[in-house]
C-alpha cells in the first residue's frame, strides 16, 4: 500500500472509556478530524451508550448471494459477531480468524468475508475509539485540521482486510456521513488489491447515523481492453444492512448468557 498511500507517522493507541469520558484520541493531532466525524454521525457519547447491535445482512460476492439473519455484533473489545443457526437456537459465535474458511466447510469464503466486513466496517468511525486500532496520520502541511487524512490498522498483526484509509472531505465534516473508505484486501474470496468502499443510504437510527449500503470497487484492477467508453465499472461486491437495532450493554449481556463460542479466534 506504500505506493498508493502517502507516508504515515505513528500516532497513538487509545482505549475506550465510559460515555462521559472524553476519548484520548481527541488530545492528539487527529482530534479535530475525529471530533467532526464522530459528531456528524451522532456523537461519541451517544455511541458509547450502546453495547452492540442486531441486524440482518445481505451481500452479493462473486455473484453469490449471502443472506445472514439475526446477527448480533457485540462492541466490547475485542468485538465479536454472533448468529443463530435457526430460529430458536442459541447464539453462536462466528469464527473470523484467517483459517476459518479452511476449517469450517459449512462456511464459504464469501460468507466469511461478509461476516468479517460486518465486524470491521459496521461503523468504522466510532470503532476507532475501541483501543483495537493503530492510527497513523498522513504527513501534510497546512490545510484544514478538521479534515486530515489518516490510516487505521487493526492491532495484532496482518488482517485479511485493512489497513483502512480515511480522508473526510469538507462536505463530510459539516453534517454528512463519511462517503468512502479505502482499504487493502487479501481475503481469498476476492482478488487481492486496493478497494474503495462507498458508504451510502445513511439512516438515523437511535441517534446514530448509519450507512445501510456499501459498494466495493477494486482500484488496482487492470483496464479491460474492450471496455465501453464512458461506462464506469460496476462494484466487485455489495452489501445491504437492515433491521438495525442498537442494544445496551445490559441487553447484550442478557443475550450472550449461556452461549458458547462456536470457535476460538486464531
Residue with more model confidence, 264 or 142: 142
Domains in the chain: ranges and CATH: 36-223+233-256 (2.50.20)
Predicted confidence at residue 236, as pLDDT, reads: 95
Q: What is the distance between the terminal CA atoms of the chain, rounded to a whole angstrom?
A: 25
Least confident stretch, 54-68, 80-94, 104-118, 232-246: 104-118
Total count of residues recorded for the chain = 266
105-162 confidence digits (pLDDT tens):
556 899 999 999 999 999 988 999 888 888 888 765 455 555 678 999 988 766 789 9
Residue 10 pLDDT more than 70?
no
- Give the residue with greater pLDDT, 198 vs 102: 198
| Statement: the pTM of the whole predicted model exceeds 0.75 | yes
Look at residues 33, 27, 32 and name the one whose alpha carbon lies nearest to residue 14.
Answer: 27
Residue the block writes with cell 460468507: 111
User: Which residue has better confidence, 136 or 264?
Assistant: 136
pLDDT at 223: 53
Contacts of 21 (CB under 8 A, 6+ apart): none
Tens of pLDDT along 196-234? 999 999 999 999 999 999 999 999 665 555 556 666 678
Q: Is the peptide bond before 163 cis (omega within 30 degrees of 0)?
A: yes
Amino acid at each position: 500500500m506504500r505506493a498508493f498511500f502517502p507516508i504515515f507517522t505513528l500516532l497513538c493507541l487509545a482505549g475506550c472509556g465510559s460515555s462521559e469520558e472524553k476519548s484520548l484520541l481527541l488530545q492528539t493531532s487527529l482530534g479535530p478530524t475525529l471530533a467532526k466525524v464522530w459528531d456528524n454521525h451522532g456523537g461519541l457519547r451517544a455511541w458509547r451508550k450502546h453495547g452492540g447491535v442486531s441486524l440482518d445482512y445481505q451481500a452479493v460476492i462473486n455473484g453469490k448471494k449471502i443472506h445472514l439473519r439475526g446477527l448480533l455484533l457485540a462492541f466490547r473489545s475485542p468485538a465479536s459477531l454472533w448468529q443463530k443457526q435457526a430460529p430458536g437456537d442459541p447464539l453462536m459465535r462466528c469464527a473470523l480468524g484467517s483459517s476459518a474458511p479452511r476449517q469450517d466447510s459449512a462456511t464459504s469464503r464469501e460468507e466469511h468475508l461478509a461476516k468479517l466486513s460486518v465486524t470491521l466496517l459496521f461503523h468504522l468511525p466510532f470503532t476507532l475509539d475501541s483501543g483495537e486500532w493503530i492510527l497513523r496520520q498522513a504527513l501534510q502541511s497546512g490545510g484544514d485540521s478538521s479534515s486530515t487524512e489518516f490510516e487505521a490498522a487493526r492491532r495484532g498483526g496482518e488482517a485479511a482486510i485493512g489497513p483502512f484509509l480515511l480522508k473526510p472531505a469538507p462536505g463530510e465534516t459539516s453534517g454528512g456521513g463519511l462517503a468512502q473508505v479505502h482499504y487493502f484486501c487479501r481475503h481469498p474470496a476476492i482478488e487481492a488489491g486496493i478497494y474503495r468502499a462507498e458508504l451510502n443510504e445513511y439512516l438515523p437510527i437511535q441517534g446514530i447515523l448509519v450507512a445501510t449500503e456499501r459498494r466495493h470497487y477494486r482500484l488496482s484492477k487492470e483496464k479491460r481492453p474492450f471496455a465501453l467508453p464512458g461506462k464506469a465499472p460496476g462494484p466487485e461486491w455489495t452489501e445491504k444492512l437492515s433491521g438495525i437495532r442498537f442494544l445496551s450493554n445490559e441487553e447484550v449481556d442478557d443475550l450472550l448468557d449461556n452461549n458458547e463460542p462456536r470457535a476460538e479466534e486464531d
